[in-house]
Amino acid sequence: MEKSISDLTVEYFKHPNEDLKHGPVVDWVTKQYLKNHPNPPRDPWRAIRNLYEKGILVQIKKGVYRYNPEHVKEVELFDFPPDVKETIFERDDYKCVVCGRGIADGIEIHADHIKSKNKGGDNSIDNGQTLATRNTF
């Protein structure tokens, strides 16, 4: 199974309590991604920001992040429950609301928050949208 940009980013940050600069993370994720994809990933830095917003990474200073297992917030609160995800996918016809492509096109899709949790968004169906992996981060 091919790894998504987010999967690769999480893999890079598996070394706990190390301050890791943004640039080498992006370079490594891009190199790994190109092993299974013909085109480079779009904006891998967004995956880092997304992990920070979910409470998985701690920002030490601009462009430097750390994975601290002691700091990880309850990430499951940020994720849509499976039944809500399915309802969002059904509503959006299993297609990305940005590019219009979806499962039928061989594109991996995700349920994403319209208004992020750190900006007051919730896990309701109305706050969810279907996005292609490349449009998620």
Domain boundary among 67, 90, 119: 67
Q: Is residue 30 part of a domain?
A: yes
Q: Are 58 and 85 in a shared domain? A: no
pTM exceeds 0.85: no
Return d(Cα 83, Cα 118) in angstroms, integer. 22
Are residues 71 and 32 in contact, defined by beta-carbon separation less than 8 angstroms?
no
Q: Is residue 73 part of a domain?
A: no
Q: Are 53 and 96 in a shared domain? A: no
Q: How confident is the model at residue 72 (pLDDT cuts 50, 70, 90)?
A: low
Q: Which pLDDT value is given to residue 28?
A: 92
Q: How confident is the model at residue 89 (pLDDT cuts 50, 70, 90)?
A: very high
Domain that holds residue 97: 79-136
Q: Is residue 129 part of a domain?
A: yes
Q: Is residue 94 part of a domain?
A: yes
Q: How confident is the model at residue 126 (pLDDT cuts 50, 70, 90)?
A: very high
